[in-house]
C-alpha cells in the first residue's frame, strides 16, 4: 500500500501495468527484458502475491533473463509469527534467484535496489528478488542514491585468457568439418555484430538453440538451422559428424544434446562461455574460452582464416533437402484438408515481412514457431526455453510489446497454455497493448498427445481438451477477434490481424492429431533423429 | 569413484547464505556429512567447511555452483591428505560413575580428553581429534552411561595457502577503479 501510494505520484514518469495475476507480471517483465535487453521489473504483495511470482522467477533463472521482483512483507517485528499474508519468500525463492535480499530498514533501500539491478543485468543475467517489510516501506529517511558498480564477492565477467583464444584458433585451423552452435549468450552479450563477423570471417556453418535464434537473420547464408529435439535434420545429424564443435553462449541443455554419451563424441569441443560453472557441466570442453562473447569473439575472429568447406556445406544442403521432402513441404504447403501450424507461421512471416517479434508458449506450436518463424532482427524470439512454462506467452507478449512498441508482436499459443494465463486478456484490454494473439487450437495438449501416440500406443490419457469459445472470450474483453477453420480464409485473416493497430485475437483451428517432426526421442542420440 | 572431500567456502557474512549454499546440495540429492560455519582469518568474512562423499567430477561441479553465488568470495575442495582437520565432541556422564568406577579416570587420562565441568550431578568431557578418536572415547564411556553425547562437524585448514586476503584486496581495488 505505501509503495503504491508513492507510485501514484509518479504516474506520468513511470508506466505501471496492472496484470491480472502475479505470474502474468513476471512473464510480462520477462517479455519486456527479452526484447529490450533491459531489466524487467515486477511488484507483488506479500504471501500469495509473492508465491505467485515463483514460476516466472524460475523461468527467468533458467533462461538467464534480467528481472527484479519487489515483494511486500509483513512488518519486521511480525516476521516469523505466521502473520496475515506472511510467507518466507526469501527461503522459497532462494534456489530460483540469482540473488535475493530482505530489507528491514528503510535506509538500506537505495543501496539494495542499485545492487539488485546491477546483479540482475551484469554477467550472466538472472532474476533478483527484494523483499521489503512494511515498516521499511512506511519509514522515511534522507534519500541518497549511489549507483552500484560492483559487488566485492561477485565477478560477473571472467578475465579473458588469451592462451585459450590461441588454442581455440589453432583447433579451428585444423578443422575440416567445423560446426558452430550458438545460444542466447550472443543476444544477452549484445554481441550480434561480433558474432556475425566471426561467422562470416570463419565461414563456418552455424546452428542455433531456440533461445539463440534471431541473433543473426534466418536467411543468413551460413545459418544452417536449429539444433535439439525438434530442430533441423542436418545440424542434429551432423553434430555427430563434425570434427570441431564451437559452442558459443549456450549450455548444452538436454533438449539440445539428447543422450550425452553419444553426443559429438568424435568432435573436439570449444566452449565460449561467460559462466565458469557451465564449462564441463554437461559436455567436456577441449578448449574453454571464458569471458564475455562481445570481447572473446573479435579476438577469435582475428585469428581465424576462412576456408570454403564446400563438401561440408553440401552435407547440410543434402540433409535440408531430405527434411524438406519428408517434413517441411507438408508443414508449409499441405495438400491435406486440415490446417497445419506450419502454414499459419508461413502466413505470419509473409504478412510481417519476416520481422515480427514471435512470442511462443510451450508445446507443439512452440516448436513449429521456432522452426518456421523467420527473423530479420535480434531479440525477436521470446519463448520459455529451459523451464517450459505453459502460460508464458500471453503475458510475455504484453511485456514484449511494451519493451518494443515499434515492433509487431505476435504471440503464438496453444489452446492448453492459453487457458493457463487467459486472464491477461484483461491486461491487454485495459492497456490496449497492440499484441496480436494467435491461438493454434487442436483441442489437445498436443505435445503430450504426440508422445502418447508415439510411445504409449495412442492412449490419450487426459490430454483432450473440451474448450470454450475463445473468440467469445476475447470479444468479452472487447478485443477484435476472428476464428479461422478453412485454408482459404487464413491468409486474409492474418493480413487483417497484422494490419490492425489494436490488440487482435485470432484462433486457428488446426489439424487435431498432427505431429512435430523431426524428433529426437527422449534419451536418444542426435543421430537417431526421426523424420516421421 | 566417490571419495571424501572437504569443501571450504569463504563468504560475505549475510543472512540466508547458508540456505543458498545448502540448497545446491539438496537439489542434487547430495547428503552433507558435516557442515560448520564460523569466522575466518579475515574480518567480516565467514568460512564454511562442508564434508561430502562425491566423485571428483561431481565435487568440481558443486564447487562451481557454489562459487556462482553472489556472496561467495571463493570456494575450494580438498582431499583429507591436503588438509589438517579435527572434530570436537562433548560427553556428559553421571558424576557418580567418576567416583565409583575408577576405570573411567584412566579412560579420560589415556584419551587426552579434558574435563570441562564437574558438579554433583554430572561431569562433561571434551575431546578434540580425529573421528576414530572421538568414536573410541564414545565406545569406552558408553558402558558407564552417557547422559548426552554431541559431536561437531569437521573444521579444517588447508596445507596450501588460501590467499583470500590478496584476492579481496584485488577485488576491492577493482571495484574502486570501476567507480
Segment B20-63, tens digit of pLDDT: 999 999 999 999 999 999 999 999 999 999 999 999 999 999 99
Q: Which residues of A touch B15 (CB under 8 A)?
A: 102
B39 Cβ neighbours under 8 A, 6+ residues apart: B45, B46, B47
Look at residue B91 and tell me if it is in a domain. Answer: yes
- The mean pLDDT value of chain A amounts to 97
Average pLDDT estimate for A351-379: 98
Look at residue B104 and tell me if it is in a domain. Answer: yes
pLDDT band, very low/low/confident/very high, at A58 (cuts 50, 70, 90): very high
Note whether B89 and B19 are same-domain residues. no
* A153 in reach of chain B (CB within 8 A): yes
- Give the three-class secondary structure for A358: strand
Look at residue B176 and tell me if it is in a domain. Answer: no
Task: In whole angstroms, give the CA distance from residue B12 to residue B46.
Answer: 6
Task: In whole angstroms, give the CA distance from residue B116 to residue A149.
Answer: 50
Q: Would the pLDDT of A167 be above 90?
A: yes
Strands B3-12 and B72-79 come out as antiparallel
Q: Would the pLDDT of A439 be above 60?
A: yes
Strand partners, B10: B47, B74
Look at residue B58 and tell me if it is in a domain. Answer: yes
CB B174 within 8 A of CB B51: no
Question: What is the model's pLDDT at position B179?
Answer: 46
Average pLDDT estimate for A36-43: 98
Other C-beta atoms lying within 10 Å of the C-beta of residue B161? 8
Q: Do A2-138 and A162-316 agree at the fold level?
A: yes
pLDDT band, very low/low/confident/very high, at B176 (cuts 50, 70, 90): low
Look at residue B120 and tell me if it is in a domain. Answer: yes
Look at residue B139 and tell me if it is in a domain. Answer: yes
Question: What is the model's pLDDT at position A24?
Answer: 98
Name the residue of chain A whose CA is nearest to B63's CA: A277
CB A230 within 8 A of CB A253: no
Q: CATH code at B89?
A: 3.30.70.1150
Note whether B74 and B17 are same-domain residues. yes
Note whether B7 and B80 are same-domain residues. yes
- The mean pLDDT value of chain B amounts to 93
Look at residue B169 and tell me if it is in a domain. Answer: no
Sequence length of chain B is 179
CATH code: domain A162-316 is 3.40.50.1220
| Cβ distance of B61 and A281 shorter than 8 Å | yes
Strand partners, B78: B6
Q: Which residues of A touch B67 (CB under 8 A)?
A: 276-277
Strands B32-39 and B45-54 come out as antiparallel
Name the residue of chain A whose CA is nearest to B9's CA: A153
Distance from CA of B16 to the nearest CA of A (A): 8
**CA angle B163-B166-B168, nearest 5°?**
110
| Cβ distance of B67 and A152 shorter than 8 Å | no
Average pLDDT estimate for A243-253: 98
Note whether B114 and B73 are same-domain residues. no
| Cβ distance of B172 and A91 shorter than 8 Å | no
End-to-end alpha carbon distance in chain B: 47
Split into its structural domains, chain B has a count of 2
Of the partner residues B12, B19, B174, the one whose CB lies closest to the CB of residue A94:
B19
Q: Nearest-CA neighbor of A67 among A396, A374, A295? A: A396
* A467 in reach of chain B (CB within 8 A): no
* CATH superfamily ID and name for A2-138: Thiamin diphosphate (ThDP)-binding fold, Pyr/PP domains (3.40.50.970)
Average pLDDT estimate for B126-146: 95
Q: CATH code at B48?
A: 3.30.70.260
Indicate the pTM of the whole model. Answer: 0.96
Residue B137: give the domain boundaries. 85-151
Please provide residue B158's backbone torsions phi and psi, each rounded to the nearest 5 degrees: -95, 155
Task: In whole angstroms, give the CA distance from residue A488 to residue A507.
Answer: 15
| Cβ distance of A149 and B19 shorter than 8 Å | no
Note whether B109 and B66 are same-domain residues. no
Q: Would the pLDDT of A259 be above 80?
A: yes
CB A285 within 8 A of CB A278: no
Q: Before A251, cis peptide (omega within 30)?
A: no
| Cβ distance of B19 and A281 shorter than 8 Å | no
Please provide residue B57's backbone torsions phi and psi, each rounded to the nearest 5 degrees: -60, -45
Question: What is the model's pLDDT at position B97?
Answer: 84
Whether the complex's predicted ipTM is more than 0.90 is answered with yes
Interface size A-B, in CB pairs within 8 Å, comes to 56
State CA A328 to chain mean position distance: 23
Task: In whole angstroms, give the CA distance from residue A212 to residue A235.
Answer: 15
Task: In whole angstroms, give the CA distance from residue A529 to residue A263.
Answer: 12
Question: What is the model's pLDDT at position B168?
Answer: 86
| Cβ distance of A275 and B68 shorter than 8 Å | yes
Active site (catalytic) residues of A: 22, 84-85, 134, 447
pLDDT tens-digit map of A279-290: 999 999 999 999
Note whether B80 and B160 are same-domain residues. yes
Name the residue of chain A whose CA is nearest to B73's CA: A153
The structural domains of chain A, with segments of one domain joined by +, span 2-138, 162-316, 337-509
| Cβ distance of A152 and B12 shorter than 8 Å | yes
Note whether B7 and B77 are same-domain residues. yes
Mutate to test the interface with A, among B65, B68, B74 (most CBs of A within 10 A): B68
Name the residue of chain B whose CA is nearest to A99's CA: B70
* H or E segment and range at residue A302: helix A293-303
| Cβ distance of A152 and B175 shorter than 8 Å | yes
Average pLDDT estimate for A161-165: 98
* H or E segment and range at residue B131: helix B131-141
Better-predicted residue by pLDDT, B97 or A524: A524
Note whether B20 and B52 are same-domain residues. yes
Note whether B51 and B89 are same-domain residues. no
Percent of chain A's residues with pLDDT above 90: 98
Look at residue B28 and tell me if it is in a domain. Answer: yes
Q: Which residues of B touch A276 (CB under 8 A)?
A: 64, 67-68
Assign domain A337-509 one CATH number from 3.40.50.970, 3.40.50.1950, 3.40.47.10, 3.90.1150.10.
Answer: 3.40.50.970
Amino acid at each position: 500500500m505505501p509503495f503504491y501510494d508513492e507510485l501514484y505520484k509518479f504516474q506520468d514518469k513511470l508506466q505501471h501495468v496492472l496484470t491480472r495475476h502475479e505470474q502474468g507480471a513476471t512473464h510480462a517483465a520477462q517479455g519486456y527484458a527479452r526484447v529490450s535487453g533491459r531489466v524487467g521489473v515486477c511488484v507483488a504483495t506479500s504471501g500469495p502475491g509473492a508465491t505467485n511470482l515463483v514460476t516466472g522467477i524460475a523461468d527467468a533463472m533458467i533462461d538467464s533473463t534480467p528481472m527484479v521482483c519487489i515483494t511486500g512483507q509483513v512488518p519486521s517485528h511480525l516476521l516469523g509469527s505466521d502473520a496475515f499474508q506472511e510467507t518466507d519468500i526469501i527461503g522459497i525463492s532462494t534456489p530460483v534467484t540469482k540473488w535475493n535480499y530482505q530489507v528491514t530498514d528503510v535506509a538500506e533501500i537505495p543501496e539494495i535496489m542499485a545492487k539488485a539491478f546491477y546483479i540482475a543485468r551484469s554477467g550472466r543475467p538472472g532474476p533478483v528478488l527484494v523483499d521489503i517489510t512494511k515498516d521499511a516501506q512506511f519509514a522515511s529517511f534522507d534519500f541518497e542514491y549511489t549507483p552500484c558498480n560492483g559487488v566485492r564477492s561477485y565477478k560477473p565477467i571472467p578475465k579473458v585468457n588469451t592462451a585459450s583464444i590461441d588454442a581455440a584458433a589453432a583447433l579451428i585451423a585444423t578443422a575440416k568439418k567445423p560446426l558452430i552452435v550458438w545460444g542466447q549468450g550472443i543476444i544477452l552479450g549484445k554481441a550480434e555484430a561480433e558474432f556475425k563477423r566471426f561467422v562470416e570471417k570463419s565461414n563456418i556453418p552455424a546452428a542455433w538453440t531456440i533461445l539463440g535464434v534471431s541473433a543473426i537473420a534466418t536467411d543468413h547464408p551460413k545459418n544452417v538451422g536449429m539444433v535439439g529435439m525438434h530442430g533441423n535434420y542436418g545440424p542434429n545429424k551432423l553434430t555427430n559428424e563434425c570434427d570441431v564443435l564451437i559452442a558459443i553462449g549456450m549450455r548444452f541443455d538436454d533438449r539440445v544434446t539428447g543422450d550425452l554419451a553419444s553426443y559429438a563424441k568424435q568432435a573436439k569441443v570449444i566452449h565460449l562461455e561467460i559462466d565458469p560453472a557451465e564449462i564441463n557441466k554437461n559436455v567436456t570442453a577441449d578448449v574453454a574460452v571464458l569471458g564475455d562473447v562481445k570481447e572473446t569473439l573479435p579476438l577469435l575472429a582475428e585469428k581465424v582464416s576462412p576456408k570454403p568447406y564446400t563438401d561440408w556445406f553440401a552435407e547440410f544442403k543434402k540433409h535440408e533437402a531430405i527434411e524438406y521432402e519428408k517434413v517441411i513441404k507438408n508443414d508449409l504447403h499441405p495438400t491435406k484438408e486440415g490446417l497445419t501450424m506450419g502454414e499459419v507461421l508461413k502466413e505470419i512471416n509473409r504478412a510481417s515481412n519476416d520481422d515480427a517479434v514471435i512470442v511462443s508458449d510451450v508445446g507443439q506450436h512452440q516448436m513449429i514457431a521456432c522452426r518456421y518463424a523467420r527473423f530479420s532482427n535480434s531479440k525477436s524470439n521470446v519463448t520459455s526455453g529451459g523451464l517450459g512454462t505453459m502460460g508464458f506467452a500471453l503475458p510475455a507478449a504484453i511485456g514484449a510489446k511494451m519493451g518494443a512498441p515499434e515492433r509487431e508482436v505476435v504471440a503464438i499459443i496453444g489452446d492448453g497454455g492459453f487457458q493457463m494465463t487467459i486472464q491477461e486478456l484483461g491486461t491487454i484490454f485495459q492497456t490496449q497493448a497492440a499484441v496480436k494473439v494467435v491461438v493454434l487450437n487442436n483441442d489437445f495438449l498436443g505435445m503430450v498427445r504426440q508422445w502418447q501416440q508415439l510411445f504409449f500406443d495412442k492412449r490419450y490419457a487426459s490430454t483432450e481438451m473440451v474448450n470454450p469459445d475463445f473468440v467469445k472470450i476475447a470479444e468479452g474483453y472487447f478485443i477484435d477477434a476472428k476464428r479461422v477453420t478453412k485454408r482459404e480464409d487464413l491468409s486474409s485473416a492474418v493480413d487483417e490481424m497484422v494490419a490492425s493497430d489494436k490488440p487482435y485475437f485470432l484462433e486457428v483451428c488446426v489439424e487435431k492429431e498432427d505431429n512435430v517432426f523431426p524428433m529426437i526421442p527422449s534419451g536418444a542420440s542426435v543421430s537417431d533423429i526421426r523424420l516421421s | 569413484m566417490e571419495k571424501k572431500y572437504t569443501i571450504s567456502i569463504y563468504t560475505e557474512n549475510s543472512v540466508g547464505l547458508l540456505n543458498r549454499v545448502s540448497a545446491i546440495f539438496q537439489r542434487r540429492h547430495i547428503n552433507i556429512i558435516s557442515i560448520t560455519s564460523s569466522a575466518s582469518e579475515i574480518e567480516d568474512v565467514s568460512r564454511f567447511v562442508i564434508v561430502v562423499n562425491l566423485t571428483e567430477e561431481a565435487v568440481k561441479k558443486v564447487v562451481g555452483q557454489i562459487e556462482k553465488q553472489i556472496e561467495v568470495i571463493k570456494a575450494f575442495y580438498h582431499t583429507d591428505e591436503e588438509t589438517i582437520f579435527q572434530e570436537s565432541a562433548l560427553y556428559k556422564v553421571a558424576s557418580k560413575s567418576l567416583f565409583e568406577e575408577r576405570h573411567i579416570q584412566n579412560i579420560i587420562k589415556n584419551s587426552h580428553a579434558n574435563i570441562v565441568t564437574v558438579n554433583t550431578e554430572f561431569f562433561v568431557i571434551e575431546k578434540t581429534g580425529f573421528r576414530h578418536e572421538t568414536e573410541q572415547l564414545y565406545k569406552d564411556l558408553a558402558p558407564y552411561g552417557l547422559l548426552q553425547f554431541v559431536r561437531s562437524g569437521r573444521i579444517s585448514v588447508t596445507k596450501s595457502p588460501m590467499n583470500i586476503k590478496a584476492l579481496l584486496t584485488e577485488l576491492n581495488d577493482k571495484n574502486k577503479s570501476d567507480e
